[in-house]
Amino acid sequence: MFELIVAGFTFVALIFYAVTGGADFGGGMWDLLATGPRADARRNAIDKAIAPIWEADHVWLILVIVILFTGFPRAFAAMMTALNIPFTLMLIGIVLRGSAFTFRKYDVKSQEVHRRWSTLFGAASFFTPFIQGVALGALSTGQIRVVEGRLASGFFAGWLTPFALVCGLFALALFAFLSATYLTADPSTESDVKNDFRLRALWSGSALAPIAFVVFITSKQGAPAMYHGLTQWWAPLLIGMTLCFAIAALISLWLRRFALARIAAMAEVTLILGGWNLSQYPNLITPDITIFNAAAPAITLRLLTYALFAGAVVLFPSLFFLFRIFKGKESE
């Protein structure tokens, strides 16, 4: 029972990370891609939108990791061994992204220096979520094998498959879309810039459909367990709902109902991750490590559950306050 609660919490934290932290990466991508007459205005908007919240958003990832190693230590140990290389690469990306973003803010000596930090920030914002997508995809491939408590598949299994790489691309497109959508709804964005991001959200949101389709197709070979899950009786329902929200997001963007678009985009991402999770339940690393066989002893899970609820009681009001102050309607 408790293992399911803890797994649920891990999953919720992962969704929050994607919906908030993922969008911050998207901001970095648009920063790097910004060209044309309003490039600097767009960069400013991104900077303003991300600066107060990105650290809090980033902590979701840390939370996922600590819950994972407390609640599912075997899964954690296996993931970190099997995906040692991609995770190391991801960490480099995280370090460079976060520090470049902070440094460019406080290192204001010259335009030249500022631009160099910005390039690093943008490049790392592409690289990191790509690797994250690849790593998550690798967990579903079924190629990471754990036999009798030992990793049997080496350090290159899973994450170099076409399926995992397509998952990486999908993560990129998803976060770019999220970010552009949020920026249209951000209270501090100017209206010209809003229009720019509206267009970007529209086409990155449309690009998601073909990439998602490729993910699905490659999963037949690359992640058979997931493919099997996605062809169950309930799958059309889930995929249909995801599609509805995707279309709703695009339509609201088209009609400039930006607040609505933001909600629809969040729901879309939540359902996509939900589908990924549900299609391979109860596997954590397909096929050998599951929620049940990797779970920590009952007492740890019980205490962890209490801690998570207690933490949530502190966390959610604080987060709500943070987002109300910076993302709510402009009061002045």
Partner 1 sequence: MGMSLAFHIVFAALGIGLPVLMATSEGLYLRTGRPVFLELSKRWSHGAAILFAVGAVSGTVLAFELGLLWPGFMEKAGAIIGMPFSLEGFAFFTEAIFLGLYLAGWNRLPPFVHWLCGVLVAVSGALSGIFVVSANSWMNSPAGFKIVGGKVTDIDPIAAMLNPAASHEVLHMILAAYVATSFAVAAIHAFFVLRDRANVFHRNALGIALALGCISAPLQMISGDFSARSVAKLQPVKLAAMEAVYYTQTGAPLQIGGIPDNASRTTRYALTIPRGLSLLSTHDPNGRVIGLEQFPRSDWPNVRLVHWAFDLMVGSGTALFMLSIAVGWFAWKQRGVPDGKSLLRALVAAGPLGFLAIEAGWFVTELGRQPWIIYGVMRTKEAVTPMNKIAIPFLIFTLLYIFLSVVVFYLLRRQFMKTGAPVSELLTNNV
Nearer CB in complex with partner 1: 210/328: 328
Establish if 33 lies at the interface with partner 1 (CB under 8 A).
no
Of positions 18, 23, 53, 266, contacts partner 1 by CB under 8 A: 53
Establish if 209 lies at the interface with partner 1 (CB under 8 A).
no
Of positions 39, 95, 255, 259, contacts partner 1 by CB under 8 A: 95
Establish if 299 lies at the interface with partner 1 (CB under 8 A).
yes
Q: Which stretch binds partner 1 (CB under 8 A): 193-201, 265-273, 283-291, 302-310?
A: 302-310
Establish if 81 lies at the interface with partner 1 (CB under 8 A).
yes
The span from the first CA to the last CA of the chain, in angstroms, equals: 48
Of positions 4, 41, 65, 235, contacts partner 1 by CB under 8 A: 65
Q: Which stretch binds partner 1 (CB under 8 A): 35-43, 77-85, 190-198, 257-265?
A: 77-85
Establish if 28 lies at the interface with partner 1 (CB under 8 A).
no
Establish if 44 lies at the interface with partner 1 (CB under 8 A).
no
Establish if 74 lies at the interface with partner 1 (CB under 8 A).
yes
Establish if 99 lies at the interface with partner 1 (CB under 8 A).
yes
Establish if 152 lies at the interface with partner 1 (CB under 8 A).
no
Nearest to 171 by CA among 217, 197, 143, 138: 138
Nearer CB in complex with partner 1: 216/326: 326
Binding site for partner 1 (CB under 8 A): 51-53, 55-56, 58-59, 61-63, 65-67, 69-74, 76-81, 84, 87-88, 91-92, 94-99, 101-103, 106-107, 109, 151, 155, 296-297, 299-300, 303-304, 307-308, 311, 314-315, 318-319, 321-322, 325-326, 331-332
